Structures are given as C-alpha cells and as structure tokens.
Amino acid sequence: MPIVTGVSETLPDHRHPVSQQVGHRPIHRPMDGTAMRIAVIIPVFNDWDSFIILVRELDRVFAGINAAVEVFPIDDGSTEPIPFPAKPIDDLCNVDRVELLSLVCNLGHQRAIATALTEAYRRQVFDIVCVMDGDGEDRPKDLVSLIREHLSYPDHVIVARRCERSEGPAFQAFYTVYKMAFAVLTGRRIDFGNFCVIPAKALERVVHFPDVWNHLAAALVKSRLPIRKVELPRGNRYAGRSKMSLIALVTHGLSAVSTFSDAVFVRLLLMSLGMAGMVAVGLLGVMAVRLFTELAVPGWASTVSGLLFILLVQAVMFSVVAAFLTLAGRSAPGMVPASDALRFIRERTVLAGS
C-alpha cells in the first residue's frame, strides 16, 4: 500500500465516503456512479518500444475497473521513425482509445506535457487527466493507486512522491544538492515530479498558468491548488536507456527555479542590500581605526577601504539589476498554454479505438 502524506495547501475536507478496501473499490465518478472518463498523457521522444509495453500494461491494470480510459502519447519531435502501424496496438481490451499527438518540433518534456494538457482541456470530456512518463519508471499499477486516492480527495491534485529511487549515487547526490539550492533560492520545496492526477475542475487553472509551460511540478506548487502526496517507489525502465542528458537535467532544474523567479530576485536583492550594509559598516570601522586608534599599519586603511568600496559598488549594482529583473519579469507577457500551445500540434492520429 502506498504511504499517503499531507497536502501542500490546506482546504476543508470534503471527501466522499467510500469503502476502505481500496484494493476492491471500483473506480467511478463519486457523484453519480457512472464510468469515470480518464485521459492518460504520456510524452515520448524516440522511446516507442517502452511506450508499447506501457500501453499494454495500462490495459492490464485497468481490467475490471469501471472507467473509460483514453491514452494520449505526445510525440515530442522524435528523430526515429514512429513504429505505427507496423507495430499495431489494436488488441486492447480496457483502454478505449489511443490517440497520438504529433508536435511540429521538439519542445522538450515539460512543454509537450503542457500541450497535451491543453488538448485534454479543449475536449471538455474528461473527469481526470493523468500525467506519467512513458519509460516504465512511473508504474501503471501506481497510477491506479493515485486514481483511487483521487476518489477520497476529488478536489486535490494527487502527486507521486518517490520513497525509493533507482538512480545511482552520483545522481542522487546531485539531486540532493539541487533540492537544497532550490529551497535556499525560492523558499519552497518540490519533492515530486510529473506523475500526477489532475481533476477536471483544476485543469482549467493549470492550462491558464504560464509557468506550466516550463515546469509542471513547480507550477502546481505555485498555483496554490490543493495537493495530496502519495509515496510510491520508482519503477525500472522497460527498454533502452534514458534520453535525459546532464544538460537536459540542469535545464530542467533551472526551469523549476525560473517558475519562482520573482522570489529568487527578491531574495538576491535583499542579500545584496545586506551585503552593502555590512560593507558600509566595515568602511566605518576602518575609518574609526585609522582616525581614533594607533593600531593602523601604514597603507592598511587605504588598501582595505579600496577593497570594501569595490564590494560596495558591486553590491549596489547587483541590487539595481535584481530590482529591474524583478520588474521586467512581472511586466513581460508569458506563454499561456490554453491560448498558445495547440498551434504546436501538427497531427492527431488514432492508433487504437475509434
């Protein structure tokens, strides 16, 4: 059983009374008992072998569940040939439809997700939208656990927080340093990724939030939507190796920081002002030692004063730059997925279902 943690934002608990035997509880729309309409969004870049395995595994875990499931793989400008229809996936029993969304170019993992979320919102037929990676590290059986948690907390975004990780020690060390730096710069914590379930009533806010274009998890935190976290282990890749390079990982981390750019610049502004204040106090101390004591060594006061004055000028310049960057960031128009993302979809192709 997954371990459930608290929410990042507190709202009154309006959970629907359901059976405690979650392993045997049917998935249905809580209010009227009809089949829940579920969209599963899966970004893919060249990793089609893993995707095919994932779809078949999704079809297996949804067996016996009263839900209408549609899967939306997003081809994020793959450079390798797409194996359909050479490898058909038309023998599915519990997944009603698989529709490929092909992008005109490689936008990157996060922007591909934002585009698919906008497509799901445009259709206005889904009760929940699920986001998961297509390589197997987000396990289909865990998706069912997140959906079951949604039944108890229908107003919350349900996210997976990793209680076990499969990466090597170097990656985990880098990730720990990144989380510490993120907390220092932004004053916030992000301990979950893209694996999540978004209810329909929250989807409208999500796709109108400009920061979703750069980083989904950070945007969810910033959006003030109620979040429910479920601790789940990371699975193993189905096939091949990860396409995520070191540069891509660093860019992904910086994208999360950029979501809170206002807070970052304000913190830097306050830090630089504090540094300027300490330098000013240092200059006054040097002057006091030079004028009122006999401790000063010849040439010492001018050397120290010169160094402190340089630091003061740099701190003041940094403060001015941080202030202008904060103002510029607040006045610049952002990329809003709800109005801008769909133009990147080149083609919609039904791979299974009708």
* 109-159 pLDDT per residue, tens: 899 999 999 999 999 999 999 999 988 889 999 999 999 999 999 999 999
Structure tokens at 304: 């120290």
Averaged confidence pLDDT in the chain: 81
Strand partners, 307: none
* 270-311 pLDDT per residue, tens: 787 788 788 888 888 877 877 777 776 667 777 877 887 888
Collapsing DSSP to helix, strand or coil, 30 comes out as coil
pTM: 0.75
Q: What is the mean pLDDT of residues 82-99?
A: 83
Q: Is the dihedral of CA 174, 175, 178, 180 positive or negative?
A: negative
Structure tokens at 63: 């067996």
Q: What is the pLDDT of residue 33?
A: 58
Does the pLDDT value for residue 249 go beyond 60? yes
Q: Which amino acid is at 123?
A: R
Using the structure block, give the residue that is written with the tokens 């899966």.
Answer: 42
Question: Which stretch of 41-45, 56-60, 225-229, 241-245 has the lowest confidence by average pLDDT?
Answer: 241-245
Does the pLDDT value for residue 326 go beyond 70? no
* 166-196 pLDDT per residue, tens: 566 776 777 777 778 878 877 788 888 899 9
Judging by beta carbons within 10 Å of its beta carbon (0-12, 13-18, 19+), is residue 219 exposed, middle or buried? Answer: buried
Cβ neighbours of residue 216 closer than 8 Å, sequence gap 6 or more: 110, 113, 114, 131, 194, 196
Structure tokens at 282: 């240092």
Q: What is the pLDDT of residue 166?
A: 57
Output the CA torsion 82→87→90→92 (10° steps): -100
Cβ contact 83:48 at 8 Å? yes
Q: What is the pLDDT of residue 70?
A: 95
